[in-house]
Structure 1
Amino acid sequence: MNSKNNRKVKEFDFTRRDTDLLQTFKTLMDEGYFNEIFEKYRDPATRYAFKVLTLKQVASYKIQLACFRHLNDLKRSICDHDFPFEYDLNDCHLILNFAKLCPDVSVNKPVPLMLWQQAILCLNQGWRTKSDNQKRFTYALISVARTNGKTYLTNILLAYSFLIENAEEYNQDYLYSAPVDKQSIKGWRYIRQTFQQLSNTPGFKKLIKNQRIEVNDETVKNRKTFSNLQRLTANSGQFDAYHFLLAIVDEYGDPHYANGAMGKITSGQVQKVNHETLAISTAYDNPNCPMFRDEKRLTEVLEKDNSREEDRSLLMVWEQDDIAETDRPETWVKSNPLLDLPSMRETLLNGLLDEKAHRSSSGDIYKFQNRNLNMWLATSANKYLRLDDIQQSIVSNFNFESRDCYVGFDLSRFNDDTAVAFVFPYTDDKDQRFFIYQHSFVPTAHSQKSIVLKSQQDGIDYEAAEKQGFATISKNRFGEIDNEVVGQWYLDFVREHNLNVKAFIYDAHLAAPLIEWLSQQCPDVPFVTLRQGTLSLDPPTRELRKMFEMRRISMLDDPILQYSLINASLFENAYGVKVDKESRSAKIDVVDAIIDAISEAQYWFTNPERNEIDSKQPFAGWSQEKIDDYYKNDFSF
C-alpha cells in the first residue's frame, strides 16, 4: 500500500460480528499502517500496546481495546488536523521520572514499575489537548485484581499532581475518597506515609519545606498556595462543597457509591481547568453499581472506534475474559499483571492457587473469581442467573411486527414497579428461543414524589430508561401508578406492532379491575391466572434459567430488565423454587412478569393453541374479597 493511503486514518466498529479486533490489527500491521507510529513513539504505553496486540503480552479483551484506541489515536493526532488531542512525550518523561523517586509505602523506597504500570501513567499524563496542553482524560477508570499495586499508582499520581503538576495553582481542592471511614483511614495512611517519606527524600525535602506542606489525619495542606487534599467518604455527603482539581475515588465498585456520590464529585469539576477524576477498584460482588455501568458503557465506547463518544474518558481493565479461565492459571496474568514480575510470580501464583483450592472446597469459588480474577459475577450462592448469561443475551434489535407473543403482568404493591413483559417464542436454526421485552411503570409516591430519589433508592436510572422507551414514570400529582395509563399503553403497543397475543398471564391479587377492563378490550385473548406458589412457579422458573444458560434468550440493552435479572435470587421449599429478592429495595417485578409469561410461552413449540379455552376470564364477576381469598389460600408451603 502506498504511503499516501497510509496517511489516512481508518475507523472501525468492533461491535460488528464481521470485524475482529486482533485480525484487524494484524491486517493493518501487514499494510504498514502503524509504521510511522512504531518509529516515532517508543514510550512505555505505545510499546505495551504493540506488545499486547501482537500477542507477546497476554491481556484481556478490554486491555486490547484500550491499546488499539491508543495506537489509532496516535495515528489521528498525526494525520487528522481536526483531532483535538496529541500525545506529549515530555509529559510522559515527567511522570515517569517522578515515579522513580516516589516511594512505595510497603518497602519505604521507590520500586521499579512494570511496563503496564508505566503505560497507565503515560496514558494518563501524556495525552493532552492540542489547543492548551491540558490533560485529555477528565475521567479514568482503572480496574485490576486485588494485591496488584493499585495503591502505589494512585499515590504517585496524587503526589505528582499536588507537588509538581499544579504546584503554582492557588486554593485548589484535591480528594481521596473511599466508601466508608474504615476504608478511607487505611488508604489515607498510605497517602500520609508517601508525603512523609517524600519529605525526607533528597530532591523533595526542600520542595516540601518551601511549599510548607502539613500532613494530618484528615488533610494534606499546602500553606503556601492554600491548596488542600481532603479525606472524605462516599456516604459523607460533603462533596457538594468542593471543586476538586483531582479526585481519587478508591474502591469505586462498592455499593456505597450508588448514592450519587460520583455525580456530586464530577459536577463540581466542570469549571476547573486540567481536572480529572480517577476511579480505581477491583470488581465487586454486586454488578448493580455505578462502576459496572461505567465499565460497560466505556467498553462500548472503545469498541466503536468510528465514534468520538466520550473521547475524554480512559478505561483500562485487567480481568479474565471467560469463567472457564478459572481452571487455566496460565491466563491469570490477564487479571493479575504482577504475575509477569519474576520476583513476584512464584509467591503470587502459589497464593492464588491456594485461594482457589480453598474456595473450591468450601463451595464458594465465585468469591475467588470475583476478587482474585477481577470478574463481575452475581456471586451469591442462591443467585438466579449468572451475570455472563445475562450479558450474552443482549442484542441490538428485534423485529416485533406481527409475531405471536405471551404477556406477563405484575401489578405494583407499595413502592414496587408495575411490569408488563412480552415473551416472543421463535426458532433460529431449529433452536427454540425466546425474545423478552418489558415496560415498567414507576411510582414516586413513596419517594417524596421525586424520581431522582426513587432512582437512588432502587439503583436504576429511571429517567434514562424512560428516554429509551423501557419505562413510564408516574405523572399524576399523587405519584401513584394509574391503571388506565398501564392498560392503554399495553393496548397501544399490541396494536402498533400487530401482535398476536396468545395469552395474558397474571397474578390475580389486586389485578381484577384492570384485568376485567382489558378483557373487555381484547375479547379474543385468553387471560390466565398463575398461582404464585413454588408448585406453580417451579417449571417456568427453571425453564427460563435453562434457556439463559443455553444462550437461547435474547433481549435489548434494557437497564431495568438487566437490573432485575441480576437481583433475582432463588427461594426453595419442598414443592419447588421461585424467584425472590435478597433485600426489600431490590426490584424483581420484571422477572416475576417474565416468568408468568414463560409459564405459557414454553408450550408454544409443541402446542401453540393450548390457551383456546372456554373460560377466558376466570375471575370475571368475582369480588375482590373472593379473589384475595383465592390468592391467600393458594400458596403451597
Structure 2
Amino acid sequence: MPSEYIKNHPAYRYAKAIVSGDFTSMAIIPEIKDIYKPPTYVIKQCRDFLQVADGENPDFCINEHKCRQIDGLLKLLIMPRGLQFGKPLYECTVSYQWLFYVAVLAEVYRSDPEKRRYERAVLEICRKNFKTYTVATIFIILFLTEPPFSQFFSVAPDRALSKEVKEAIQNTLSVSPLVYYDMHGLKRFKLLRDCIKCTLTQTTYTPLAYAANRFDGRLPNVFLADEVGALPNNSAIEAMASGQLNIKNKLGCIISTKYPKVNNPFESEVAYSKRVLDGQVEDQAIFSLLYEPDPEIAKEWITNPLAMAQGNPAGIEIQEIWDDLKKKHARALNIEATKTNFLTKHCNIMASGTYDGESYISLEDLRRGKVKGIDLHGRDVYVGVDLSMTNDNTAVSVISYDAKADVVDCIPMVFIPADRIEEKTRAERVPYAEYIADGYVVPCGDRTIDYKVVEDYVFSLEERYGCKVKALGFDRYNCLSSAQKWEEGGIDTVEVKQHSSVLHSPTKWLAELIADGKFHYESGNKMVEINFENAKCVYDTNMNRYVNKKKSNGKIDIVAATINAMYLLEQDVKLNTPITWGAQF
C-alpha cells in the first residue's frame, strides 16, 4: 500500500481521478466538470502509474525521497510570468504536470532505487498547456539532482523554437533567488549566450536546432525534442538516443502538438506509444501522456466541448485558457481559414483543410473478434494480396465467410525483406523478430522481397489449410507478374481496381463486421491489430469511404489485402453477383 504522503500527493490524486472518473478532487472549471471524460490513452497510462504507486507492480515503485525532492524544489522555484507570476511553482503546477514530474523522475526499479524506470517520455498536448515549460522545469530539477558533468540538450526544427526552453529556464532561475544563489550569495548557474551551466554540478544544457546543428557525437544524459511534428524526419531524435548508450539514467522527452501532415516523426512516436499502452508491444521504459480526443468525440468537435477538453488538460483547470479556446472555436466555425489551425493546434485533431483522416476502426471493436485459432478445413476461401514495393512489406490475407453466423474468419501473413529486419524494427518500432518467431511474419529475400516466396505461399494455401481457394484479388501495382503465375497455376485471379467507388462497399462491410465483433483473427497475431490501428480512412466527393495509405500512421498491408479479399467475397456471396474471373473491377 502507498504511504499517506504518496496517497495525498497531487500526482496520485490526479491519476486516481482519471481512472475512477470521480473529479471532485480536481480543480476542473464548472462548465466541464460534470461532462468531462479523459482521453482513453491517458486513462491507460494513469492505470499503470497507480499500479506502481499502490505497490502492485513487482518490478517498479515510487521513490518517496525523489518525490519529496521534486516537491521541495518546486516550492523554491518562482513563476516568472503569466497569470501566476510571482507564485511558487508548487502552487502553479497543474494536475497533468504533477503526474509527468513524478512518473518520469521518481518511478524507479525496486532492485535499484537510484535507477529510473522511464527512458523516454512522450507528451502529446495542445498549445498553451505549458508543455515546453514542463520540460524546462524538469531540466532545472535535473540540474541539481543528476550526476556531475551531465549534458542536457534540446532539439527543435529551428533555433528560435529550441531556445524557448532555454529562455524558460533562464527566466525561472532569474526570479528564484533561493535556487539561483547559494548561501554565500554566489550564483549556482551561468546563463551564457549558447548554453546554461550549473556550477554546483558542472552540468551543461545546450539548445540545438535541426536546421543548423549536427547531432552525432553528443552524449546527452537528457534531451528534449520539441515540436517533433514539424521535424522532417526522426534522425535528430535517433542521434540523441544513440548517444545515451552508456548513461544509467538516460531520458528523452518527445513533445509536440498535432501537425496537418500525417507522415511526421511525432505521429510515429504516438502510434508506438499507443501500441505499448494497448499491450501490443512490451516496453517498460516509455511513459506517454497522449492528450488527443477519442475518435468518436473528435468527429463531434463542432458541438461537443470534450473535443477541446480532452486535448487541453491545463485549459480545463484554468478559466482564462478555456475562455480563449471558446473564442478560437467560434472563429473556426465562422472563418474557414482558421479551422485547420484550430483543430490541429488547439484540439489535437489531425486536419488538412478539413477533418479527413479519421481512424478506420476502433481497436476495442477489433479485439472483440479475437479467437484462439481458426480452422479453414473444407471451407471456401478468398485471397487478397497487397504486393507493395520490393523493399517494403507485402501481405496475403485469406478469408472465409460463415453465412449462418455472418462471420468472417481471417488468416493474414506478412512478408518482409530478411536483411531489413533490424532496420524496420528501429524505424517502425515493431518487434518483427518476435512476430517472425510466432509465425505471423515471413522474412524472405535480402534487401528486397523475394516474390517467389510469396507466390509459393499462395500456391500452398489449399494444402496448408485444407481449404478451397475460390479466387484471388490483387492490386495491379507490382503484382501483374505474380498474378500471371497464379493464373497459370490454376488460381482464378481478379484485378481489383483501387478506386473509392469500388472499395467503398467492402470497406464499409468490413468495418461493420469488426464493430459487431464478427471479424475473427488469431489472438496472438498482433500484426493484425497494429495494421488496423494504423489505418486511416477518407471520403471522396461522393462520400465513398476508403482506406488511404498516405494518411495512415504506418503499415496497413494486412488491411489493404483483406479489403481486396472482402471485395471478392461481397461480389460472390453477399451481393450474389457472379464474378467473371480474370476481369478487372
TM-score range, shorter chain: 0.7 to 0.9
Aligned to 1:400, what secondary structure does the other structure show? coil
Residue 253 of structure 2, aligned match among 275, 278, 289: 278
Structure 1 runs not aligned, ≥5 long: 1-33, 620-633
CA shift for structure 1 position 583: 9.2
CA contact (8 A) 2:155 2:225 kept: yes
Distance 1:510 1:333 in 2: 45
CA shift for structure 1 position 158: 0.8
- The match for 2:192 is 215
Residue 538 of structure 1, aligned match among 476, 480, 501: 501
Residue 119 of structure 1, aligned match among 99, 124, 143: 99
Q: Which has the larger radius of gyration?
A: 1
After TM superposition, the structure 1 = structure 2 runs for residues 361-372 of structure 1, keeping only pairs within 5 Å, are 362=336, 368-372=342-346
CA contact (8 A) 1:442 1:473 kept: yes
- The match for 1:389 is 361
* Residue 47 (str. 1) matches residue 18 (str. 2): no
Residue range with higher mean Cα deviation, 413-422 or 268-277: 413-422
CA contact (8 A) 2:148 2:203 kept: yes
CA shift for structure 1 position 485: 1.4
Structure 2 runs not aligned, ≥5 long: 24-35
- The match for 2:445 is 475
- The match for 1:548 is 511
* Residue 91 (str. 1) matches residue 66 (str. 2): yes
Distance 1:487 1:142 in 2: 44
| Cα distance change, pair 494–565 in 1 and its aligned pair in 2 (3 A) | farther
| Cα distance change, pair 342–560 in 1 and its aligned pair in 2 (3 A) | closer
After TM superposition, the structure 1 = structure 2 runs for residues 407-486 of structure 1, keeping only pairs within 5 Å, are 407-412=383-388, 417-426=393-402, 432=406, 434=408, 438-442=412-416, 466=436, 469-476=439-446, 479-486=447-454
Distance 1:320 1:583 in 2: 18
Aligned to 1:337, what secondary structure does the other structure show? coil
CA shift for structure 1 position 503: 0.9
CA shift for structure 1 position 54: 4.2
CA contact (8 A) 1:564 1:591 kept: no
After TM superposition, the structure 1 = structure 2 runs for residues 466-615 of structure 1, keeping only pairs within 5 Å, are 466=436, 469-476=439-446, 479-507=447-475, 514-519=482-487, 521=489, 523=490, 525=491, 527-530=492-495, 532=497, 534=499, 538-545=501-508, 547-548=510-511, 551=515, 554=519, 557-558=526-527, 562=531, 566=535, 582=550, 593-606=561-574, 610-611=578-579
Residue 347 of structure 1, aligned match among 318, 323, 326: 323
Aligned to 2:178, what secondary structure does the other structure show? coil
| Cα distance change, pair 366–502 in 1 and its aligned pair in 2 (3 A) | farther
- The match for 1:174 is 152
- The match for 1:298 is 276
Distance 1:143 1:585 in 2: 15
- The match for 2:39 is 60
CA shift for structure 1 position 398: 6.5
Distance 2:501 2:77 in 1: 59
Q: Summarize deviations over 1:304-337 as a string: whole Å, max 9, x none.
A: 9xxxx54443333334335336333267433322
Amino acid at match of 2:358: R
* Residue 137 (str. 1) matches residue 112 (str. 2): no
Residue range with higher mean Cα deviation, 271-280 or 322-331: 322-331
Q: Summarize deviations over 1:498-528 as a string: whole Å, max 9, x none.
A: 233221123567756544543455x4x4x13
CA shift for structure 1 position 600: 1.5
CA RMSD of aligned residues (A): 4.5
Q: Summarize deviations over 1:402-422 as a string: whole Å, max 9, x none.
A: 143211234455756544333
Aligned to 1:338, what secondary structure does the other structure show? coil
| Cα distance change, pair 406–177 in 1 and its aligned pair in 2 (3 A) | same
Q: Summarize deviations over 1:573-604 as a string: whole Å, max 9, x none.
A: 99x99876659999776665444323311134
CA contact (8 A) 1:408 1:597 kept: yes
- The match for 2:48 is 69
- The match for 1:20 is none
CA contact (8 A) 1:565 1:591 kept: no
CA contact (8 A) 1:462 1:473 kept: no
Aligned to 1:248, what secondary structure does the other structure show? strand
CA contact (8 A) 1:567 1:581 kept: yes
Distance 1:117 1:300 in 2: 23
Distance 1:364 1:467 in 2: 49
Q: TM-score, normalised by structure 1?
A: 0.71
| Cα distance change, pair 195–590 in 1 and its aligned pair in 2 (3 A) | same
